[in-house]
Amino acid sequence: MAEKNGDSYRAQTLLLYQAWLHLHAMDFGGVAEICESILPSLGDPPRSPWRRLCLVLLGSAQTALGNYERARENLSMAGSEMASQKVIHDWYWRMMLESGLTELWLAKGDLPQARCHARQLLSTTQSTPERTWQALAWEANARAAFAELDLETARDFITKALLLLEGGWEVPLAAWRVHATGADISEQMGNSGLAEYHRQLTRATILKLANSLPGEEPLRETFLSAAPIRKVLET
């Protein structure tokens, strides 16, 4: 409808939201395709908040695709633009940026850098009431500690994430990751009963997310067939 009405700005916004959905559904190739198709039209020098979102989404997708140098370039560019000139929504994109950088350095095995950005992510999220991002920040810190085999610290971080899931809050995008990491930590610490408890909650949340999509929607199968999701469902 936006394209039909010649509303290119709104069309770009909707395409980026579509890319964001594809990122959560783990269709990383789809994210890259969408973002690369519209990034040239978002302006340079950067003043549009959508350019920053585009760069963060693209960088996050490139990390998942194993294109680490391209991911670093996109995420670094988004960070530089935020530092040089603030625009609307930067407070939100900053959380996404720090999350993306944490995932990049974890994927590359650079644990000091991963820990640094995980802490920055946590600091950024604490200034907002966004429970999804707060839970994701604690979970990212737990995985960074877990990667360093600091199990006690990892358990403390994941406990804080779990506390944010209480009280009836609907945060499924964070919940499945929190419980999945909680299962890994519990298993490593020898508590197989607690690990299975977390796996059951992870499976239930994953299926709830999948079932929020129509059965004929290709993203549903993409999500369910992604390696991190299969790892949970097949365990």
**What is the DSSP track for 131-183?**
HHHHHHHHHHHHHHHHHTT-HHHHHHHHHHHHHHT-SS---HHHHHHHHHHHH
Inside any domain, residue 124: no
Query: Do both 227 and 174 map to the same domain?
Result: yes
CATH number of 37's domain: 1.25.40.10
Residue pLDDT, tens place only, 33-83: 999 999 998 876 666 789 999 999 999 999 999 999 999 999 999 999 999
Query: Do both 134 and 190 map to the same domain?
Result: yes
Contact 203, 231 (CB under 8 A): no
How far from chain centre, in Å, is Cα 186? 22
Query: Do both 85 and 57 map to the same domain?
Result: yes
Contact 161, 138 (CB under 8 A): yes
Gyration radius of the chain over CA positions: 18
Query: Do both 157 and 218 map to the same domain?
Result: yes
Residue 22 tokens read as 């594809």
Query: Do both 105 and 4 map to the same domain?
Result: yes
Region of poorest pLDDT, from 8-12, 71-75, 92-96, 211-215: 8-12
Query: Do both 6 and 72 map to the same domain?
Result: yes
- 110, 138, 163 - which closes a domain: 110
Inside any domain, residue 119: no
- Percentage of the chain beyond pLDDT 90 is 85
How far from chain centre, in Å, is Cα 231? 18
Inside any domain, residue 224: yes
Inside any domain, residue 227: yes
Query: Do both 53 and 26 map to the same domain?
Result: yes
Count how many residues are written for the chain: 235
Query: Do both 104 and 187 map to the same domain?
Result: no
Residue pLDDT, tens place only, 74-116: 999 999 999 998 889 999 999 999 999 999 999 999 999 999 9
* Rounded CA separation 182/139 (Å): 9
Inside any domain, residue 123: no
Scan for tokens 């269709």, then name that residue: 27
pLDDT at residue 44 in the model:
67
Contact 20, 57 (CB under 8 A): yes
- 82, 110, 138 - which closes a domain: 110
The mean pLDDT of the chain is: 94
Inside any domain, residue 194: yes
Query: Do both 71 and 155 map to the same domain?
Result: no
Decide: helix, strand or coil at residue 126.
coil
Query: Do both 100 and 6 map to the same domain?
Result: yes
Query: Do both 8 and 52 map to the same domain?
Result: yes
Inside any domain, residue 54: yes
Confirm whether pTM is higher than 0.85: yes
Contact 62, 32 (CB under 8 A): yes
- 78, 110, 142 - which closes a domain: 110
Q: Which of 111, 189, 102 is nearest to 140 (CA)?
A: 102
Residue 6 tokens read as 């010649």
* Rounded CA separation 90/109 (Å): 28
Residue pLDDT, tens place only, 161-204: 999 998 778 999 999 999 999 999 999 999 999 999 999 999 99
How many distinct structural domains can be found in the chain? 2
Inside any domain, residue 150: yes
Decide: helix, strand or coil at residue 57.
helix
Query: Do both 156 and 78 map to the same domain?
Result: no
Domain that holds residue 157: 129-235
- Residue type (1 letter), 92: Y
